[in-house]
Amino acid sequence: MNDLVDKKIERYETLLREMWAASEKYLGAFSVKLLVERVVWDISTEYREIELLHYDEGRISCAEMAASMKENPNLPVDDMFMKFITRYVEILARLIGCEKADKIAKKLKEEFGNIPI
């Protein structure tokens, strides 16, 4: 069970890094950091564990989150990250326009498969 949680967290961590890198091309590192901070704040009202996400200048780590989830295996990891990703793309679309946000979403779907963006 722990290996499954670790693999999920690792996959989402990779996805978040890709989102950061793609967004940074349009917004710059500082603005992307603020965007991630905003989304963490939004999602934390429902999922406190999202506050364990560490991010700074393109580096995102879910290590503390993975440790917390091992203690609470009933946490809906997929729902939490899907809400994060959805909220991120919604705000990103407002900032850079739907066309550019769609390009990023398409690239993420190609690389990560069944992500409902």
- Three-state DSSP at 103 gives helix
pLDDT score for 112? 67
* Cβ atoms within 10 Å of 107's Cβ, excluding its own: 13
8 Å CB contact between 60 and 22: no
pTM of the predicted protein model:
0.83
The two three-digit tokens of residue 95, written as one number:
């900032």
What does the pLDDT read at residue 92? Answer: 87
Render each residue's pLDDT in the chain as its tens digit; 117 residues: 567 777 888 888 888 888 888 888 888 989 999 999 999 999 999 999 899 999 887 688 888 888 887 787 788 888 898 899 889 988 988 888 878 777 777 777 777 666 655
58: three-class secondary structure by DSSP: coil
Q: Where are the domains of the chain?
A: 2-112
